[in-house]
Amino acid sequence: MSEIHEILEETAFLQCKVNGVSFEEEIHPSMSLLDLLREELKLTGTHMGCMTGHCGACTVSVDGRIIKSCITPAASVQRKKVITIEGLAGADDSLHPVQEAFCEASGFQCGYCAPGMVFSTVELLNEHPDPSDAQIRKALTGNLCRCTGYQSIVRSVRQAANQKTASGDHSE
Amino acid sequence: MAEQPYIGRKEKAPDRVAFVSGRAHFSSDFAFEGQLHAHIIRSPHAAAKIRSVDLSGALKVSGVKIAIDGAGAAEHLDPIPHHIDPIVFGGRTTDLFCLAQDHTRYFGEPVAVVVATDKRTAQYAASRVVVDYEPTASVTDADLALKDDAPLVVLGWDDNSIMQVPFCGGDAEAAFKDADHIVKTQVRVHRQATQPIETRTYNAIWDEGGQSITLYASAQNPHPMRFALAKTLRMPENRLRVIAPSMGGAFGLKMHSHPEEALICLLAKLTKGAVKWTENREECLLIGGREQTHDIEFALREDGRILAIRDHFLANAGAPGATPGWGMAFLTGLTMPGPYDVGNLDVWANIVVTNKPPWSACRGFGKEITALALELCMDKAARELGLDPVEIRNRNFISSNDFPKKTATGLIYDSGDYAGALAKTVESIGYYDVKRNQEKWRGEGKYIGVGLGYEVTPEGGALPGTMVAGYDTSTVKVDPGGSVTILTGVTDPGGGNRIGIAQIVADELGVAIEAIRVLQGDTQTCPYGFGNYSGRSLIVGGGSAALAAQDIKEKIVKVAAALMEVEEGSIKIYRGVVTSSAKPESELSFNEVCYAAYTRAYDVAACIEQPLEATRTFKPGLISHLPDEQGKINPYPSYSNAAYAAVCEIDPGTGVVKLLKFAVTHDCGKAINPVLVEGQACGAVAFGIGGMMGEEIVFDEGGRQKTRNFEDYVMPRAADVPEIVMKHHDSPNPVTFMGLKGAGEAGVGGSAAAVVNAVNDALAHLGVEINDLPVTAPRIWSAIQKAQSAQKAAES
């Protein structure tokens, strides 16, 4: 005979916007934002790497600041705006300039860390449109990559910065 | 020879947009109707008797579908076939099961599993499984495991050795007697792990109608995995389909015969549903490798020429596992003496089992440890003989005129120019500038050192009697509309070999690369293949696709000649345009010719057999499984190699190492795509750097693993890796397509050696030498402290 376990039945009401779309549902209070995105919303571009906040594969933007969604409770994004990698491109599906640069400069190999790297780069370039190499490497410190040795990623960030400076675009 | 607009170019991934926009699909991204989730209960002890497993508490939880233990699983499952059975090489073997039964041999061994409607319920229910363990004596140290009174890891074995195996040649004993100098050191390499950012996922779907299973898996070798699954599940291979979607890095971890593979398939079968398991990071960190202790000695002549090498080493392979892990230690021995011309070898490997979790393949596959042991001893020899590290290497390298070169262990090196590659690296790193300024810097309190490392990496291996094959197969299909599909038996672990294969076929066929789609990793659609390992993917995947493309091209040329009413020899196809030197005024599109090939089978295309499809196998030469007069074989067609150099600065106050510069000169034969080669080389360098400077798997006294997450296992981050200066030094392999040698595996050992040698060079004035790895700040700091107090004591 199966037993109902209260701990599994608890819920919290969450209201937020993900990639511009409203989300209003009961969720389990211990659910991570990562699981909400991947399992409830099927936004699988946000990746699980460690569940401890160390690898950065799950990086998304909440109210314009990047966070690690694996250690962020979903319940904590109440009335906030979440942008995932699927929502970073323009409405017409045109890539964000940082995504463009990662494509052009081959800024990934397996691509598993790429969404997180893109978010960290977007935030870096918002703060430092023309970063030094040291600033680039520091900004990527929260994101692990096991394939590239970071060489092509740093090159992609540099390319994104050059494009941004050239186009005079300093907005997000 | 076809014109080559694509080969050699920095071609980008055709599907790159999917990877930066979240639309690429990795194994864990798939969810099926009624998707169930598994949670595995693992042993908290390094060794214990399992008195009982009580699943009743878990089974009572609402949402739980099934829970089973080792005895329950054994009713349905046979032992997992070894990826490489030690018995094939004269070693000891044992049956390995998906879940432990009467006793557990290592911390983290799967003991039971719970399946529920969601992850949280499965995890909660798993916490209600009660296992009654009786802990028994365990051993995690390889030296201790060989003592007479050591507890036996595998009950029934006489001792804890899988095998002791010699890699000998010439007369080392006589050479040691005649030597002017004998240089000895102990190189202790610690346990490390591959840790791709994507962990393993298995998602199995049962089809009741077909009585079959489809498994979505992070799998480097889908076909051989299917073979192993079929054996374990007692099902024929034709009722199993393995699909390997995009892989988020592999590095050997995703080679098959892990216990969770067949287990998840069984659970799908028993629940008649879809069951998914994604490894968490703590589980992933259990799977390690590389731990070896080398007591290595060189017998040297006065001028620095090595007369003989003796190296009796111990490998701590952990508990027996069915993945190919243990074989790495075999390869360490086989790859001696690396790039050096030394005929007298006395090398013995003792591969030991302990109560650590089993090894699984780690990029480098043991060959990196050969490089570490040789290169660290080489620098010690240079210091003791007062020779420059460049000079002593140059005096011992195999000469570029001596290839093909048979080594003392029976390997046959295809080609190389080791001194040439080293010279380029020495120049890139500014080696002599560092050497010139070192004294001055030391006077200013700056400890700066430069270190070298050389690595020869046998690639494309084939081991007789195992699923490690030397050949592979591709199918190329051209449609009536002119689009090209390549189905290949090699998989892409995330390095992008699909791009290189497309480049090769684009040039062979004379089409635009945009017309090509490469499909990999599906046992139902791809030809039987062995997947990815041993730097083989472009050698055999690219080679076989080229052969298939050549067959199709021949047909297309015939049809084009018939259409244009010219001689076949006058036809040229370039970027999708077909021309004839006999009729310069007319041209056809590639697509028109393909359409005619299919639709005019009874007139102009009667000269060919439809369809425009070909399947070919590339079987590289040089591999020899027929033992020579000494019983030795050559399991590799190709020997990539590279020279590495690092410059580091050590903070004497803290022991912290900062890498200032890094340089590589790589010989992978022809570089089909320099971006892919650079990516592989730089990635391997980061493995080497990380492995020496931060990564270490440690256990407590009871054999419980203490390294549980990325805070404990410190992998290099962007700020830890300097810009890597990369050069190519191609010496083409005469027996592979276009001279390819493989670029995927080399670099871990050579770069690791360069880092350690740079650290030891920076500390040489203190008389400090650290060959007990890793070279982390606490170890360096205490070595500096010890040296300084010894100096002070001597002065006072």
d(CA B248, CA B754): 28
In this predicted structure, what is the pLDDT of residue A171? 44
Q: Please say whether the beta carbons of B237 and B224 come within 8 A.
A: no
- Token output for B769: 């030498």
The verdict on residue A125 lying in a domain is yes
Domain count, chain A: 2
Nearest CA in chain B to A155: B723
Average confidence score pLDDT of chain B: 96
Chain B interface includes A5 (CB < 8 A): yes
- Token output for B80: 């997992």
Of A52, A87, A122, the position where a domain reaches its end is A87
Number of CB atoms found within 10 A of residue B630's CB: 10
Same-domain check for residues A125 and A56: no
Lowest-confidence region among A91-95, B215-219, B636-640, B689-693: A91-95
**pLDDT tens digits, A6-35:** 888 899 999 999 999 999 999 999 999 999
Same-domain check for residues A70 and A132: no
Enumerate the residues of chain A whose CB falls inside 8 A of the CB of residue B724. Answer: 149, 151
Nearest CA in chain A to B745: A147
In this predicted structure, what is the pLDDT of residue B3? 73
The verdict on residue A1 lying in a domain is no
The class (CATH top level) of B16-22+471-618 is alpha beta
Tell me whether residues A112 and B23 touch, CB distance under 8 A.
no
The class (CATH top level) of B292-463+627-795 is alpha beta
Q: What percent of chain A has pLDDT over 70?
A: 97
What DSSP assignment string belongs to B31-97?
A: --TT-EEEEEEE-SSSSEEEEEEE-HHHHTBTTEEEEEEHHHHHTT-PPPPPSS-GGGGT-------
Mean pLDDT of B511-525: 97
Q: What percent of chain B has pLDDT over 90?
A: 95
In this predicted structure, what is the pLDDT of residue B744? 77
d(CA B780, CA B264): 45
Nearest C-alpha of chain A: how many angstroms from B525?
Answer: 22
Which of A43, A54, A68, A151 to probe the B interface (max B CBs under 10 A)?
A151
In this predicted structure, what is the pLDDT of residue A170? 43
Tell me whether residues A111 and B717 touch, CB distance under 8 A.
no
Same-domain check for residues A77 and A112: no
Closest Cβ opposite residue A114 in set B12, B19, B687: B19
Chain B interface includes A94 (CB < 8 A): no
**pLDDT tens digits, B380-421:** 999 999 999 999 999 999 999 999 999 999 999 999 999 999
Using 50, 70 and 90 to split pLDDT, how confident is the model at B2?
low
The verdict on residue A34 lying in a domain is yes
Tell me whether residues B20 and A103 touch, CB distance under 8 A.
yes
Residue type, A9: E
Q: How many residues does chain A have?
A: 172
Enumerate the residues of chain A whose CB falls inside 8 A of the CB of residue B17. Answer: 95, 99, 103
Tell me whether residues A149 and B28 touch, CB distance under 8 A.
no
Tell me whether residues A140 and B718 touch, CB distance under 8 A.
yes
Same-domain check for residues A80 and A34: yes
d(CA B613, CA A75): 55
Which of the four CATH numbers 3.30.1180.20, 3.90.1170.50, 1.10.1740.10, 3.40.50.10860 does domain B31-136+195-285 have?
A: 3.90.1170.50
Tell me whether residues B21 and A149 touch, CB distance under 8 A.
no
Nearest C-alpha of chain B: how many angstroms from A167?
Answer: 21
Enumerate the residues of chain B whose CB falls inside 8 A of the CB of residue A152. Answer: 675, 678-679, 682
The verdict on residue A73 lying in a domain is yes
Chain B interface includes A145 (CB < 8 A): yes
Nearest C-alpha of chain B: how many angstroms from A104?
Answer: 8
Mean pLDDT of B2-22: 91
Q: Which residues pair with B616 in a beta bridge?
A: B474
pLDDT at B520 over 60: yes
Mean pLDDT of B186-208: 98
**Closest-CA residue to B531 (of B322, B247, B747):** B247
d(CA B719, CA A138): 6
In this predicted structure, what is the pLDDT of residue B386? 97
**pLDDT tens digits, B586-621:** 999 999 999 999 999 999 999 999 999 999 999 998
pLDDT at B490 over 70: yes
**pLDDT tens digits, B327-343:** 999 999 999 999 999 99
Closest Cβ opposite residue A52 in set B120, B686, B710: B710
**Closest-CA residue to B508 (of B482, B542, B541):** B542
Maximum Cα–Cα distance across chain B: 101
Of A28, A54, A87, the position where a domain reaches its end is A87
Q: Which run of H or E residues covers position B727?
A: strand B724-728
d(CA B451, CA B753): 8
Chain B interface includes A79 (CB < 8 A): no
A80: CATH: 3.10.20.30
**pLDDT tens digits, B47-84:** 999 999 999 999 999 999 999 999 999 999 999 999 99
Q: How many residues does chain B have?
A: 796
Enumerate the residues of chain B whose CB falls inside 8 A of the CB of residue A32. Answer: none
In this predicted structure, what is the pLDDT of residue A1? 60
Tell me whether residues A145 and B709 touch, CB distance under 8 A.
no
- Nearest 5 degrees, angle CA B2-CA B8-CA B13? 105
Nearest CA in chain B to A31: B120
Tell me whether residues A112 and B724 touch, CB distance under 8 A.
no
Same-domain check for residues A15 and A83: yes
pLDDT at A168 over 70: no
Residue spans in chain B of domains classed CATH 3.30.365.10: 16-22+471-618, 292-463+627-795
Using 50, 70 and 90 to split pLDDT, how confident is the model at A167?
confident
Using 50, 70 and 90 to split pLDDT, how confident is the model at A172?
very low
In this predicted structure, what is the pLDDT of residue B736? 87
- Token output for B411: 């390997």
The three state secondary structure string of B468-537 is CCCCEEEEEEECCCCCEEEEECCCCCCCCHHHHHHHHHHHHHCCCHHHEEEEECECCCCCCCCCCCCCCH
Q: Please say whether the beta carbons of B570 and B580 come within 8 A.
A: yes
Chain B interface includes A90 (CB < 8 A): no
Tell me whether residues A152 and B249 touch, CB distance under 8 A.
no
Mean pLDDT of B450-473: 95
Tell me whether residues A45 and B22 touch, CB distance under 8 A.
yes
Chain B interface includes A34 (CB < 8 A): no
Predicted TM-score (pTM) of this structure? 0.97
Alpha helices in A10-113 (DSSP H): 33-35, 97-104
Q: Please say whether the beta carbons of B268 and B239 come within 8 A.
A: no
Of A87, A110, A137, the position where a domain reaches its end is A87
**pLDDT tens digits, B150-190:** 999 999 999 999 999 999 999 999 999 999 999 999 999 99
Same-domain check for residues A69 and A124: no
- Token output for B563: 């259409």
Same-domain check for residues A83 and A103: no
Nearest C-alpha of chain B: how many angstroms from A65?
Answer: 19
**Closest-CA residue to A109 (of B492, B529, B264):** B492
Nearest C-alpha of chain B: how many angstroms from A79?
Answer: 24
Tell me whether residues A146 and B686 touch, CB distance under 8 A.
yes
In this predicted structure, what is the pLDDT of residue B1? 46
**Closest-CA residue to B377 (of B336, B413, B435):** B336
Residue spans in chain B of domains classed CATH 3.90.1170.50: 31-136+195-285
A143: CATH: 1.10.150.120
Domain assignment of residue A83, given as a range: 6-87
pLDDT at B122 over 80: yes
d(CA B658, CA B667): 27
d(CA A21, CA A19): 6
d(CA B166, CA B347): 6
Enumerate the residues of chain B whose CB falls inside 8 A of the CB of residue A39. Answer: 31, 119
Using 50, 70 and 90 to split pLDDT, how confident is the model at B298?
very high
Enumerate the residues of chain A whose CB falls inside 8 A of the CB of residue B197. Answer: 47, 49, 55, 57, 110, 112-113, 144-146
In this predicted structure, what is the pLDDT of residue A2? 79
Q: Write the DSSP symbol of residue B705.
A: B
Mean pLDDT of B133-140: 98
Chain B interface includes A69 (CB < 8 A): no
Same-domain check for residues A78 and A32: yes
Q: How do B212-217 and B240-243 pair as beta strands?
A: parallel
Chain B interface includes A55 (CB < 8 A): yes
Residue type, B40: I
